[in-house]
Structure 1
Amino acid sequence: MRALKNLATVAGMAMAIAMVPATPALADDHEGMAMERIGDHPNLNGVWQVMNSANWNVEPHSAGPNPLEAGDRLMGAIGAVPAGLGVVEGGAIPYNDAAQERLQYNRDNVINYDPEAACYLPGIPRATYMPHPFQIVQGDGDDILMVYEYASANRVINIGEVGIPPIDTWMGTSYGEWDGDTLVVTTLAQGPGLVKLPAGEMVQGVTWLDRAGNYLTSNATVTERFTLREGGNHIDYHVTIEDPSIYEQPWEMDMVLYRHVEDDAQILEFKCVPFSERLLYGDLIAE
């Protein structure tokens, strides 16, 4: 029944997107300006996007060549990796010894085995900091919808107590509550299951955090905090990730989300399945 309720909620909220302005009527982002609110809570409605290189690597990293051996020859600087200061507090993810084999496997196979390359759903928190915008659709006292440009992904933030998800899914199940003016979202049960890789190999999937192969498992608890700054055009985005199966301790990320303030701000379509077919099924396609 909960699954049916969520499907109905997604459908209803998706229809509401066209009726919710992507950019609320806000003046310039000045410190001390009154915050736009919906009922008792800050108005998070809008189209948001990061301005960092976390999707390439959440840890600090230098600029580098295309990770694929033939990438530089085929793409030149277009496929190069931009430098980044990182978004992980303390700089490094505290992997334990048990995580090292899978971590090395991921790193040995970037970009080919990255779920993003195959147009699989990105999971949380990666969906937030991919190089695509996303839209928050918020009503008064109801569940919240987040819609992502990448692969038409979406998730419902179920406002209420954290429950036990009935099944593992690519995007997990998200529960939300308000801590003062901060939206706190807990996401559980991110488990892709068996995943098809190029040339037909099937492996037990994990949620990648970036193109560098950093990852979490279905045991992870991801806690996001969305805090709207005064002025309304920036969100302080804080993430805590707990996964005792692969991390020595919980760890955290911080970044800023920027509101698109153009009059025509909107998310467009990036249905990437056709773009991934040669990667996944190239061995079956006659040249």
Structure 2
Amino acid sequence: MRGIIRLATVAATAVAVASLGSSPALADHHEEAAAMDRIGDAPNFNGVWQVMNSANWNVEPHSAGPNPLPEGDRLLGAIGAVPAGLGVVEGGEIPYNEEAQERLQYNQENVIRYDPEAACYLPGIPRATYMPHPFQIVQGDGDDILMVYEYASANRVIHMGEVGIPPIDTWMGTSYGQWDGDTLVVTTLAQGPGLVKLPEGVMVDGVTWLDRAGNYLTNHATVVERFTLDESGDHMDYSVTIEDPSIYTAPWTMNMTLYRLVEEDAQLLEFKCVPFSENLLYGDLIAE
């Protein structure tokens, strides 16, 4: 984890950069200089970013629909409904192999209750990027890059250098980054939650969910992200290719846009969700 201390010193800079375009006095300068804003030889990714899509509900194309829980409509009405989405998967469908269909069906039969998001477990990659919460990129000069997520105070270090062999599986995996011109290419390996506790004491071998619809990857997956800053400096193209021969018949790719928050007060707030998940996980132990 080289560079963490140095990265921490530029955390304040990330917020300042995120709000650069919101100042009227700097607007004209920002429009002219955004494409040239660099840290050393690399484009400046510092800032607070967020998606504007429904990928966290389902990365595949989907219609609007009711709450997946039978009692959801009665308790929540339209608040709990699923918004429609054009999908972010190239070709529209994830190429699961026949063996993977059983786990996919199991996940789908148990949304929302078995979704790691509902239990406040770490979301994994790439889901952390397109959850309905912002995240912050903290970038120094020629050093490792830190990504901090509002959801569950999650974070990951992008180890800048050659792709290595992670020592263990973890919820967020281990990420390695390299520059391909002005594109940041991040390879994440070894995403493995291990044995996971679900509601009412159910224990299962965990997998990384990609959305609330139950799509998933395993600890055999190689996830390659590509971050490419637009000339405007206020949004970037985000592409993710996932290869996992244990459950997919071929590698597949998602594409979406990340938007920089340009408000003067752009920042991450706290969403420490453990207290919100306790009744779901342990409610059966509470005395009536």
Matched residue of 1:13: which SS? helix
Give the 5 Å matches for 1:3-22. 6=1, 9-10=3-4, 13-14=7-8, 16-20=10-14, 21-22=16-17
Unaligned runs of at least 5 residues, structure 2: 22-26
- Is the contact between residue 48 and residue 133 of structure 1 (CA under 8 Å) also seen in structure 2? yes
Unaligned runs of at least 5 residues, structure 1: 1-5
Matched residue of 1:74: which SS? helix
Partner of 1:257: 258
* Mapped partners of 2:82, 2:107: distance in 1: 17
Normalised by the length of structure 2, the TM-score is 0.94
Partner of 1:23: 18
The offset of 1:172, in angstroms, is: 0.1
Query: What fraction of aligned residue pairs are identical, expressed as a percent?
Result: 80
Note the alpha carbon deviations across 1:159-184, whole angstroms, 9 max, x for none: 00000000000000000000000000
- Is the contact between residue 30 and residue 230 of structure 1 (CA under 8 Å) also seen in structure 2? no
Partner of 1:3: none
The offset of 1:265, in angstroms, is: 0.2
- Is the contact between residue 19 and residue 266 of structure 2 (CA under 8 Å) also seen in structure 1? no
Q: What amino acid sits opposite 1:199 in the alignment?
A: E
- Is the contact between residue 35 and residue 231 of structure 1 (CA under 8 Å) also seen in structure 2? no
Matched residue of 1:18: which SS? helix
Give the 5 Å matches for 1:1-287. 6=1, 9-10=3-4, 13-14=7-8, 16-20=10-14, 21-23=16-18, 25-26=20-21, 27=27, 34-287=35-288
Which piece of structure 1 moves more, 56-65 or 20-29? 20-29
Q: What amino acid sits opposite 1:241 in the alignment?
A: I
The offset of 1:32, in angstroms, is: 9.1
Note the alpha carbon deviations across 1:248-287, whole angstroms, 9 max, x for none: 0000000000000000000010000000000000011123
- Is the contact between residue 134 and residue 149 of structure 1 (CA under 8 Å) also seen in structure 2? yes
1:111/1:233 Cα in 2 relative to 1: closer, same or farther (>3 Å)?
A: same
- Is the contact between residue 22 and residue 265 of structure 1 (CA under 8 Å) also seen in structure 2? no
* Mapped partners of 2:276, 2:6: distance in 1: 29
Runs (4+) of structure 1 exceeding 6 A deviation are: none
Report the structure, 1 or 2, having the larger helix content.
2
The offset of 1:30, in angstroms, is: 5.3
The offset of 1:33, in angstroms, is: 5.7
Normalised by the length of structure 1, the TM-score is 0.94
Instruction: Report the aligned-residue RMSD.
Output: 1.6
1:80/1:11 Cα in 2 relative to 1: closer, same or farther (>3 Å)?
A: farther
The total of aligned residue pairs comes to 281
The offset of 1:23, in angstroms, is: 1.4
Matched residue of 1:34: which SS? helix
Q: What amino acid sits opposite 2:195 in the alignment?
A: L
Q: What amino acid sits opposite 1:285 in the alignment?
A: I
* Mapped partners of 2:187, 2:250: distance in 1: 18
